[in-house]
Structure 1
Amino acid sequence: MSVNIIVAYSQSLQIGYQNELLCKLPNDLKRFKEMTQNNYVVMGRRTLESLPSVLSNRHNIILTRNKNYKSPTGTFVYHSLEEVIEKYHNHNADKQELWIIGGSEIYNQAMQYADKLYITRIEHQFEHADTYFPKIDLSQWRKIETVYNWADKDHEHDYTYLTYERKN
């Protein structure tokens, strides 16, 4: 059982603008789906609201401070990440993985719990961004994979998959 963070960010840690992704990377979206399917995904309310629907074939966990939030069918609402982590570690008989999928505030809270980071670094600096990933203290992490991907007809920018695991 592990707690994973998955994110796509720019060279300067930009992750979004006006509740939208900075660009479309079809291969990255496919990778995201493959990695998170049949697992738990944890997201903030605004991240959920940016999606066309809840993520299928996943346990959608929504974090919000709003105690009266009416979540869509097929989701679970929590009000603290600590509660999610505790329940995950104590009641996860199927050994499914927990994926933190955003937004920036949730990423910031989750860094202390993460076992692995799955980063897609978009090799570009975007003109507009209002959401950022927290700065990573790389002294706590060991890079275990780097995969370069070049821009093509479906991908406007070069991008790199970086995988880190927490040092013990």
Structure 2
Amino acid sequence: MSKVSMTVNGESVSGEVEGRTLLVEFLRTGLHLTGTHVGCDTSQCGACVVHVNGRPAKACTMFAMEADGAEVTTIEGIAGMDGTLSAVQQAFQDHHGLQCGFCTPGMIMSATSLLKENPKPTEQEIRQYLEGNICRCTGYHNIVKAIMAASGQDVTAVAAE
């Protein structure tokens, strides 16, 4: 067992982990932050996306020890301190960018990163950026629409699939 310390959603945390403990396990089991989902364990679906030092990372393929000393943000850390939804979260709600909700935390974390890098992405840029995130329900139309809305763009022209 090794000690790991990091800042998660603005709070300093630490815990004992085995070398093989994945970041997603540490977050969900060790810290009880269950918003980060485990979908595939192979880095295929994107349900586990968190931000590590401001960059998106798939927590199912990153060891907790790799995040030692890092700043980690989970879906629980995206909303405001008073519980106010972020612009991306609100847009997902307003534009029905979720159905079963399983992929939603990863989609929101990825979308937040995209908008940080590219504040006004095109529909094609959004679709390309989300290639590492799988949704089995919505067909991406409303997800793309929500991300465009969160960027302040007109969504009436978003093509239906």
TM-score by length of 2: 0.26
Q: Per residue, is there more strand in 1 or in 2? A: 1
Q: Which fold has the larger relative contact order, with Cα–Cα distance below 8 Å and residues 6 or more apart in sequence?
A: 1
Q: In proportion to residue count, which structure has more helix?
A: 2
Structure 1 length-normalised TM:
0.25
